[in-house]
Amino acid sequence: MTACSGEDGKQAGGPGGPGGPPPPVTVATPLIKPIVDWDDYIGRFEARQSVEVRPRVSGYVERLAFKDGSFARAGELLFVIDPRPFAAALASAEADVLRARASAQLARANFSRTKTLFEQNALSRQEFETDQATAAQADAEVAAAVAVARQRALDLSFTRVTAPISGRVSDRRVDVGAFVTAGSTPMTTIVSLDPIHFVFTASEALYLKYQRANQAGTRPSSRIAPNPVDIRLADETTYRWRGHMDFVDNVVATGSGTMRGRAVVRNPTGFLTPGMFGHMRLLGSGAYQGMLIPEDAVVTDQTRKAVLVVGPDNKVAQRVVELGPIVDGLRVVRSGLKASDRVIIAGVQRGRPGTPVQPKQGKIVPP
């Protein structure tokens, strides 16, 4: 019984016990500093340019000049279509040019003689005008033959199918010996990698928030300003990818009530791949003076969030608060707390609303 009485007496006389001194706690006023809000989104990377490579002339594939999945620069050779029929067509067209020029030279010489005789009144006007028209027609035939030769030269150059953009090439869709049709047969696809797009959707509520902030002048719209974004991948814990907004759609989708947005991210190493998911945070507000407290100072009262403060009489009181995001490791308090409140930041479990405590002054600093 003596042992039990001694133990009970220790509890009764201990800090916070009946008849004992008030329990010690550490208090500090909220940290006040300029902060900005960041809004979180989940989205997907998309290629800024995506091109399906198709031939511009019909023919048989003679050679493949790339490795499936490799990186190609704009203008780099991908396929070769058998050039022999096109080389023969070009040679024929060039011969037609020579023939047309010879005919034109003869027509001009005839017209020159006709003109001299006409000026001497030794030839009728009808013969003069006939030779004049013949010379003009011969010149036109030269121009037409040159145009055909240029087209044949283009056709020959189109037998070398090159990368239209710089980017990652997919696998080949045709093999050597396959017949491809101009403008019809898909040969492969190529997607650009640097820079790369990040596409996401925002709720109508967030879109309205941005619109009102733009009207108030506290945050410019992403339609007119390259607001910054930070992105982390599924296996990353930090936002290491930097980018900026470059597009906001012009309608809110009626089915989902969301607005589509897009950011541009530098990707010099090609690590980011179209189709990958990511977590993005977008600048959500202009700078404002915010109150920050440690996350450990927040207690849960059923469905509400609250903090414990110590009044002038050193008694504990509870403040129901509205919380914001975490900034520099501290929790933003949007409402329910005053800058002069002494918040319990250590020994929260020893504080009970309405009971006295022994406050020890502390200071809130980022972890």
- Architecture field, domain 53-80+160-191: Beta Barrel (2.40)
Task: Report the amino acid identity of residue 78.
Answer: L
Distance separating alpha carbons of residues 199 and 261, to the nearest angstrom: 6
Please identify which residue in the block is written with the tokens 């109150």: 291
Q: Tell me 11's DSSP state.
A: H
Contact call for residues 196 and 267 (beta carbons, < 8 A): yes
**What whole-number distance in Å separates Cα of residue 180 and Cα of residue 173?**
11
Predicted confidence at residue 122, as pLDDT, reads 82
* pLDDT of res. 10: 44
Q: Which two tokens stand for residue 181?
A: 């049709």
Comparing C-alpha atoms, which of 43, 51, 39 is closest to residue 198? 43
Predicted confidence at residue 162, as pLDDT, reads: 97
Q: Cα(281)–Cα(353) distance, rounded to whole angstroms?
A: 38
Question: DSSP readout, 248-266?
Answer: E-SS--TTT-EEEEEEEE-
pLDDT score, position 325: 85
> Domain residue spans in the chain?
21-35+289-361, 38-48+193-283, 53-80+160-191, 84-157
**Under CATH, which architecture does the 84-157 domain have?**
Orthogonal Bundle (1.10)
Phi/psi class of residue 69: alpha, beta or left (left: φ > 0; alpha: ψ in -120 to 50)? left
**Is residue 191 within 8 Å of 47, Cβ to Cβ?**
yes
Low-confidence ranges of the chain (pLDDT < 70): 1-19
Which tokens go with 186?
Answer: 């898909």
pLDDT reported for residue 113: 87
Contact between 228 and 244 (Cβ < 8 Å): yes
Question: For residue 70, which amino acid is it?
Answer: S
CB of 298 closer than 8 Å to CB of 307: yes
Q: How many CB atoms lie under 10 A from the CB of residue 172?
A: 18
What's CA 72's distance to the chain center, in Å?
A: 21
pLDDT of residue 18: 62
Continuous segment of H or E residues that includes residue 98: helix 84-119
Write down the architecture of domain 38-48+193-283 according to CATH: Beta Barrel (2.40)
d(CA 114, CA 104): 15
Give the model's pLDDT for residue 19. Answer: 62
CA distance 326 to 295: 8
Could you name the CATH architecture of 21-35+289-361?
Answer: Beta Barrel (2.40)
Whole-prediction pTM: 0.74
